[in-house]
Amino acid sequence: MSATTPSLSDLSAEARSLLQTQTIELPSWAFGNSGTRFRVFTTAGVPRDPYEKIDDVAQVNKYTGVTPRVSLHIPWDKVDDYEALRAHAEDQGVTIGTINSNVFQDEDYKLGSLTNPDERIRRKAIDHHLECIDIMRATGSPALKIWLADGTNYPGQDSIRARQDRLADSLAEIYAALDDDQQLVLEYKFFEPAFYHTDVPDWGTSLVHCLALGERAKVVLDTGHHAPGTNIEFIVAQLLRLGRLGAFDFNSRFYADDDLIVGAADPYQLFRIMNEIVAVGALAPDSGVNFMLDQCHNLEEKIPGEIRSATNVQEATAKALLVDREALAQAQRAGDVLAANDIFVDAFSTDVRPLLAELRESQGLAPDPMRAFLDSGYLDKIRAERVGGNAAGWGA
Ligand code: AOS
Ligand code: ZN
Ligand code: ZN
């Protein structure tokens, strides 16, 4: 067991550079008001429009240095001029990342969207995705993310098989509309809002559809979307092996899809996930895996909530980079179960906060981003300036 707290120089040059270039994409909806199914809470100073959400994303990036992209959600982030929104983001050192479609808040989609038995409604849902692709062109977004609330509540309500067929047809039309440099990422979720069956309930179903579509279709793994006890790092390893892990939606999962701060429920799980990433070199910016957050902050302040999330992911990553891969491989070859496990747990148990503080200072950032942000006075400023903000999101 290592007794010392490592410093930046204890990392290999490659590991240092991976930490220096790591990026995490923030969801615009994390900055708006949100709540539970029982109530949407209001927070003073929340953004009044997508421009102000981007201003807040830029704050997280200013202090952490690792969040230079924002995911948008349509129609929550609908604006008249997407090129102007893109320019506004770029002025602040932020780019537009993934465009998220929304086919779950319209009366028409009560019985499904891309799977709906009614051709008119299915057409409407496909057209919404075509509109999202136009928005991708205007904003320079590289990826369209699809999460569907589609499913049924009662056995017999609709044909499971026919819904899969309609889903495949709908996705094929959407995929065909993408440009060559755009990709589609399909998210799965085991239940909710549908309770009997969900049309994309698991990584296998998402993968089957992605394989049918083509190389630019990949799976999104939302860490909150699994049954208790699921070995998520196994899914990560498998999708990486197949080259089909498109993105993460990071968040926690205490009992179900809570959208709370990543690493809050189980930092060891987050470490195990990042270990699978690091082990196969999938952390590099050109690896094709987009590390996104999918979170809402109902009780805590939103910008600090996102800062904490970004640093939690950074900490898990730094620990994964500290795993002594050579010693681990040796112990595994020798069949030394406890030695292998020790090497693994030793990295997890290491305090990497000083190392990350050093990293930030080497990049001209404050060593403690949370403290620096709280001291900046930004929260007081937005509380005074932004009166009446509600920033469309879950509460809209
Ligand atoms: C819903 O449970 C999913 O996690 C989606 O990613 C959803 O689109 C997101 O939570 C906000 O839109
Ligand atoms: Zn998600
Ligand atoms: Zn979710």
Tens digits of residue pLDDT in 55-66: 999 999 999 999
Tens of pLDDT, residue by residue over 68-95, are 999 999 999 999 999 999 999 999 999 9
Helix or strand run (H / E) with residue 120: helix 119-139
Note whether ipTM > 0.90 here: yes
161, exposed or middle or buried, with CB in 10 Å at 0-12, 13-18, 19+?
Answer: exposed
Mean pLDDT of 216-232: 98
At 388, is the pLDDT very low, low, confident or very high (cuts 50, 70, 90)? confident
Alpha helix locations (H) across 288-368? 302-322, 325-333, 337-349, 353-362
Pocket test for ligand 1, best of 106, 113, 147 (most atoms within 8 A of CB): 147
Residue with tokens 């083509």: 214
**Which domains does the chain possess?**
22-322+366-385 (3.20.20.150)
Ligand minimally distant from the alpha carbon of residue 147? 1
pLDDT at 389 over 80: no
Residue 177's pLDDT is 98
pLDDT (average), residues 16-25: 97
Is 70 exceeded by the pLDDT of residue 396? Answer: no
pLDDT of residue 392: 60
Structure letter (DSSP) for residue 192: S
pLDDT of residue 390: 72
Per residue in 114-140, pLDDT (tens digit) is 999 999 999 999 999 999 999 999 999
Residue-level pLDDT at 395: 52
- State whether the beta carbon of 77 lies less than 6 angstroms from ligand 1: no
Rounded Cα distance between 394 and 36, Å, is: 9
Does 255 score more than 70 pLDDT? yes
What dihedral angle (degrees, nearest 10) is formed by the CA atoms of 232, 233, 235, 237?
170
The pick from 249, 253, 292 for probing ligand 1's pocket by mutation, whose C-beta has the most ligand atoms within 8 angstroms, reads 249
Which residue's CA is the closest to the ligand 1 atom numbered 3?
A: 147
* Distance (Å, whole) CA 187 – CA 225: 9
Residue 36 scores a pLDDT above 90: no
Rounded to whole angstroms, the maximal C-alpha distance in the chain is 65
Tokens, residue 150 = 């589609």
For 348-384, letters b (16+ CB in 10 Å) and e give bebebeebbbebbeeeebbebbeebbbeeebbeebee
Establish whether residue 251 lines the binding site of ligand 1, counting it when its CB lies within 6 angstroms of any ligand atom: no
